[in-house]
Amino acid sequence: MDLLIPDLGLFFWTLLAFLVVLFILRKFAWGPIVKALQERESGIADSIAAAEKVKAEMKEMQSQNESLLIQAREERTQMLKEAKETKDRIINEAKEQAKTEANKILEDTRLQIERQKMAAMTEVKNEIGNLAVEVAEKILRKQLAGQEAQQGFVQMLADEIKLN
């Protein structure tokens, strides 16, 4: 069979052409194409990895934000509480102070009143004493205006001495 006997010429040309095609395509086609495909694949993989990373970072940031928010809220509550306490304390202190002050004023007033009263009483007493001495003087003058009254009085005094 002719079909099974390889033809030298065709064999030669095929070998030559194939090798030429191989070398040309290796240099000008397969190299750039395979390289580009690889680059694209690694590029896509990198992009996906980067996106994943950004997503994770975003998530972390979000959770961070949330915790910050919670913290801020807690701080605010704390501050409000403290402010309230301070206010109450200040009010209470003021009240306390006012009370003491008022008591002190009352006490002072009371003491002054007492003192004034005492002074007034002393004056009244002195006045009454003076009045009593004046009255007694007048009465004595009246009673001892006559000769006989004076004698009688001296007599009486003398009697008293005698009696003693």
Q: Two tokens at 58?
A: 């975003």
Nearer to another protein, 39 or 107 (CB): 39
- Exposed/middle/buried for residue 144 (C-beta within 10 Å: 0-12, 13-18, 19+): middle
Identify which range of 37-45, 58-66, 75-83, 123-131 contacts another protein by CB under 8 A.
37-45
Nearer to another protein, 46 or 123 (CB): 46
Nearer to another protein, 27 or 81 (CB): 27
Q: Tell me which of 40, 76, 87, 125 binds another protein, using CB under 8 A.
A: 40
Residues 6+ apart with CB under 8 A from 150: 144
Binding mask 2-31 for another protein (x = CB under 8 A): xxxxxxxxxxxxxx-xxxxxx-xxx-xxxx
Distance CA 56, CA 48 (A): 12
- Shortest reach from residue 35's CB to another protein, in Å: 8
The residue assigned the tokens 């306490």 is 85
Asked if 51 is part of the footprint of another protein (rule: CB under 8 A), the reply reads: no
Residues 6+ apart with CB under 8 A from 52: none
Q: Which helix (H) or strand (E) holds 3?
A: none
- Shortest reach from residue 66's CB to another protein, in Å: 36
Distance CA 145, CA 154 (A): 13
- Shortest reach from residue 62's CB to another protein, in Å: 30
- Shortest reach from residue 57's CB to another protein, in Å: 23
Distance CA 85, CA 93 (A): 12
Binding interface with another protein (CB under 8 A):
2-15, 17-22, 24-26, 28-37, 39-40, 43
